[in-house]
Amino acid sequence: MDHFLYRDGVLHAEDVPVPDIARVVGTPLYIYSAATLRRHFQVFDEALAGMDHLICYSVKANSNVAVLKLMGDMGAGVDVVSGGEYMRAKAAGIPGERIVFSGVGKTRAEMRLALEGGIRQFNLESEPEMRALSEVATAMGVTVPVTVRMNPDVDARTHEKIATGKSENKFGIPIDRARAVYDEIRALPGLHAIGIDVHIGSQLTDLQPFRAAYEKVAQLTALLRADGHDITRLDLGGGLGIPYEHGNEAPPLPMEYGQVIRETVGDLDCEIEIEPGRLIAGNSGIMVSSVIYLKQGEGRDFLILDAAMNDLVRPSMYDAHHDIVPVTEAEPGVDRLPHDIVGPVCESGDTFAKARPLPPMKDGDLVAFRSAGAYGAVMASEYNSRPLIPEVLVDGDHFAVIRARPTYEEMIARDMVPEWL
């Protein structure tokens, strides 16, 4: 459920008409709903009720500091995968003891940064990384809690670019090496293994792969405990999918996901962490764009927008579907005709949707891309020298720009021409 609804034929973000925001801020832009973000956090919190747990929002989905502050204020922890994300979490006021550091290639500089600023745990992904963290922690005179990310070799049945839990993927350590790895950690100074980590992929629309992975985690917990390791924390990753085609898809609910957690690892007396990103941020955001031209092609009409693949890359990168809706609803009974919806960037890949039925549109009309709050703004680039688009947060009847649109001058000022040129 989200808070982007039509009232009197006009799309609203909570209580604010979308055209009002577009008028003030300009298009294209992202709009997020605070109420939806809060609700999605609460739904997970309720799903894990009764279990000792921490919801570590996955910063990569939407890393705006205002969004992180909103999450942090509700008691969320965060999952970060870079020094930059760590610094954003700190800038949002999230204490180190609620920050988990994941990722396959943490550098020594990133390890130092997090150890200086405080960290809940590192999720380690390889033996060389374990040894590097041991060296860094020892040099700083600290002992750091760690988990090891296991690769459970389960098929997440999602898009190949976002599946991570098969043995051929670069992520984690094969589960059959686990005992040797935990024994090595015990022998390394500066590290204390306190748990197990797993994350099998993103946009999962079936609970079975979660169940299969978490059953393996439960078995491993018993094995490692028998070896004398003090396993008290299980990080179960993120990945629960969202409906992108409203009305046509019904992925499992957080409550059902929570039940799988309860059934597989609920009685192990461990603190449970999960790292949802998309389910919290995805349907909490829309991207709003204006029609620049309606162009007639051979047998099809092109709707040329002021947003492009650099602003929202998911359709060209993953063939992802986003519902695209007119901000002002058409009169009932108006015919919908197929449109190819494209941006102005100079490649054919800059296509958001093909043959999408839309009522007649004209220059200046607004459209909204739904489900754009996760992996939207964070994956944007300045390709074709298009400045990054602004982000707005709505809360009830008011809104604020939470990232401004840079001017051309600001964008260009980062380049430097050497004086010898």
For ligand LLP, the binding residues (CB under 6 A) are: 58, 60-61, 79, 102, 162, 199, 202-203, 237-239, 275-279, 314, 318, 374-375
Long-range contacts of 105-114 (CB under 8 A, 24+ apart): 105/129, 106/132, 106/133, 107/83, 108/132, 108/135, 108/136, 109/83, 110/82, 110/83, 110/86, 111/136, 111/137, 112/136, 112/140, 113/83, 113/86, 113/87, 114/83, 114/86
- Residue of 1, 187, 250, 346 with catalytic role: 346
Work out how close the CB of 83 gets to ligand LLP at its nearest, in angstroms, rounded to a whole number. 16
56 included as an active-site residue: no
Runs of H (alpha helix) within 267-322: 278-281, 314-318
28, 372 Cβ separation under 8 angstroms: no
Q: Return the bridge partners of 148, or none.
A: 124, 196
371, 242 Cβ separation under 8 angstroms: yes
Instruction: Using the minimum distance from each CB to ligand LLP, give the nearer residue, 27 or 147.
Output: 147
- Residue 192: CA atoms inside 13 Å, Cβ hemisphere, count? 10
Number of neighbouring beta carbons within 10 Å of residue 99: 24
Work out how close the CB of 23 gets to ligand LLP at its nearest, in angstroms, rounded to a whole number. 29
Work out how close the CB of 298 gets to ligand LLP at its nearest, in angstroms, rounded to a whole number. 32
Instruction: Using the minimum distance from each CB to ligand LLP, give the nearer residue, 28 or 201.
Output: 201
Work out how close the CB of 374 gets to ligand LLP at its nearest, in angstroms, rounded to a whole number. 6
CB neighbour list of residue 328: distance below 8 Å, 6 or more residues apart: 9, 10, 11, 19, 365, 366
Query: Which two structure tokens, joined as six digits, stand for 234?
Result: 């299980």
Work out how close the CB of 199 gets to ligand LLP at its nearest, in angstroms, rounded to a whole number. 4
Instruction: Using the minimum distance from each CB to ligand LLP, give the nearer residue, 202 or 289.
Output: 202
For residues 421 and 419, give the distance between their C-alpha atoms in angstroms, rounded to a whole number. 5
Query: Which two structure tokens, joined as six digits, stand for 122?
Result: 């590192």
For residues 27 and 248, give the distance between their C-alpha atoms in angstroms, rounded to a whole number. 29
For residues 100 and 236, give the distance between their C-alpha atoms in angstroms, rounded to a whole number. 12
Work out how close the CB of 279 gets to ligand LLP at its nearest, in angstroms, rounded to a whole number. 6
Instruction: Using the minimum distance from each CB to ligand LLP, give the nearer residue, 31 or 55.
Output: 55
Work out how close the CB of 70 gets to ligand LLP at its nearest, in angstroms, rounded to a whole number. 17
For residues 67 and 125, give the distance between their C-alpha atoms in angstroms, rounded to a whole number. 28
What residue type is 44 in one-letter code?
Answer: F
For residues 100 and 118, give the distance between their C-alpha atoms in angstroms, rounded to a whole number. 10
Instruction: Using the minimum distance from each CB to ligand LLP, give the nearer residue, 76 or 327.
Output: 76
Query: Which two structure tokens, joined as six digits, stand for 143?
Result: 């002992």
Instruction: Using the minimum distance from each CB to ligand LLP, give the nearer residue, 272 or 358.
Output: 272
For residues 132 and 127, give the distance between their C-alpha atoms in angstroms, rounded to a whole number. 9
Instruction: Using the minimum distance from each CB to ligand LLP, give the nearer residue, 319 or 409.
Output: 319
Residues labelled as active-site residues = 346
